[in-house]
């Protein structure tokens, strides 16, 4: 046995451990800080690399970043057909290191972190960009992210009505029954909605701009990739806000296929270095950033070390 090997193993935290300590209420301010720091240039982060595993209809993404005193990477796998197997469509591992020495700090399951930090970012955008009087929420999609977004957005707005649409009417009704909402057609869900969330695996538009009322905020979360989109051209006619300009130019089919221009990064609006848009439609495109994962993982590690 090599006596020079370190005696202390790097801890691994499974999803159950993450779930014990990760709270949406703490994630919102952490995501806001991370987005501001990212847009201010205080984060070192390339656009993620994606490998297509065509024989299994899957994708693997590598998402590294350096953020203050920590650095790390998330390996995230997206397998759209996993639902039929009773498995999550998104599976991930996050590795954390000290930025000053490179020493490993921890490895943790990243599935729940991905779920909750995505919804928390949409909640941050909704608090900033939607009307304070927003009362009607439309969710296009009925999976894990739909549920997480309902929880997260309810922290920042008091919705009187939540409407659900899904390509599976059974799934839409199940979710609607869970949350006391209503399952409807996509058009009925969106008509008169103050906030719309698109969280589908669709590669073709599920949201039509002609359905939208003035002043609406759209959180566009699904359809990552240059040839995938959830919004038609008409829905993209207003202000387009992104989490990362660099990532959107590579990964946002909603923007690329519509020929839309980027108004601002969300971090710029949060820091008030750019004014909030004044348009009939505002779209926030959430592609997901490594810095969000690191900020969430740091929260988890700190909370677990205190227990």
pLDDT of residue 83: 84
272: left (phi over 0), alpha (psi -120 to 50) or beta: left
Q: What is the pLDDT of residues 46-101, one digit of tens each?
A: 999 999 999 999 999 999 999 999 999 999 999 989 988 999 999 999 999 999 99
**Close Cβ partners of 49 (under 8 Å, ≥ 6 residues apart):** 61, 62
**Residue 1 in this model has a pLDDT that exceeds 60:** no
Dist. CA 82–CA 58, nearest whole Å: 9
For residues 20 and 279, what is the distance between their CA atoms, to the nearest angstrom?
41
Q: From CA 39, how far away is CA 161, in angstroms rounded?
A: 34
DSSP 210-246: GGPPTTEEEEE-S--BTT--SB-GGGGSSEEEES-HH
Query: Quick count: other Cβ atoms within 10 Å of Cβ 212?
Result: 24
Reported as a pLDDT band with limits 50, 70 and 90, residue 8 is confident
Q: What is the pTM of this model?
A: 0.95
Cα-trace Rg, the chain = 19
Helix (H, G, I), strand (E, B) or coil at 171: helix
Q: Across residues 208-230, what is the average pLDDT? A: 96
What domains can you pick out in the chain, each with its CATH number? 12-113+291-306 (3.30.1780.10), 119-290 (3.40.50.720)
Nearest to 194 by CA among 211, 217, 164, 210: 217
H/E element, 284:
strand 281-285
Q: Where are the alpha helices (DSSP H) in 92-202?
A: 111-129, 144-153, 169-179, 186-190
> Contact 79/56 with Cβ under 8 angstroms?
yes
- Write out pLDDT tens, residues 115-169: 999 999 999 999 999 999 999 999 999 999 999 999 999 999 999 999 999 999 9
78: tokens are 């997206």
Q: How many CA atoms, within 13 angstroms, populate the side-chain half-sphere of residue 191? A: 5
Mean per-residue pLDDT for 231-245?
97
Q: Average pLDDT of 195-199?
A: 98
How buried is 155 (Cβ within 10 angstroms: 0-12 exposed, 13-18 middle, 19+ buried)?
middle
């Amino acid at each position: 046995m090599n006596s020079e090997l370190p005696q202390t193993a790097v801890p691994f935290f499974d999803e159950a451990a993450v779930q014990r300590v990760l709270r949406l209420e703490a994630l919102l301010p952490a995501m806001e800080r991370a987005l501001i720091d990212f847009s201010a240039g205080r984060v070192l982060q390339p656009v993620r690399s994606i490998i297509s595993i065509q024989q299994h209809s899957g994708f693997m993404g590598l998402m590294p970043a350096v953020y203050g005193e920590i650095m790390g990477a998330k390996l995230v796998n997206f397998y759209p057909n996993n639902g039929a197997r009773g498995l999550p469509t998104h599976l991930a591992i996050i590795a954390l290191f000290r930025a000053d020495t490179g020493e490993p700090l921890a490895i943790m399951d990243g599935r729940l972190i991905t779920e909750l930090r995505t919804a928390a970012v949409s909640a941050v955008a909704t608090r900033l960009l939607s009307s304070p009087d927003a009362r009607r929420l439309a969710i296009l999609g009925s999976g894990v992210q739909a549920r997480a977004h309902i929880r997260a957005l309810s922290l920042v707005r008091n919705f009187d009505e939540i409407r659900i649409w899904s390509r599976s009417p059974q799934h839409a009704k199940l979710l609607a029954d869970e949350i006391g909402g209503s399952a409807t057609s996509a058009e009925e869900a969106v008509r008169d909605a103050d906030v719309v969330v698109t969280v589908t695996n669709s590669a073709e538009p599920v949201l039509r701009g002609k359905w939208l009322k003035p002043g609406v905020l759209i959180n566009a979360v699904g359809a990552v990739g240059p040839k995938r989109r959830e919004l038609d051209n008409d829905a993209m006619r207003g202000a387009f806000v992104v989490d990362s300009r660099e990532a959107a130019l590579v990964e946002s089919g909603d923007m690329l296929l519509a020929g839309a221009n980027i108004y601002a990064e969300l971090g710029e609006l949060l820091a008030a270095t750019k004014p909030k848009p004044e348009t009939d439609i505002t779209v926030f495109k959430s592609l997901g950033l490594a810095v969000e994962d690191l900020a969430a993982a740091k929260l988890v590690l700190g909370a677990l070390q205190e227990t």
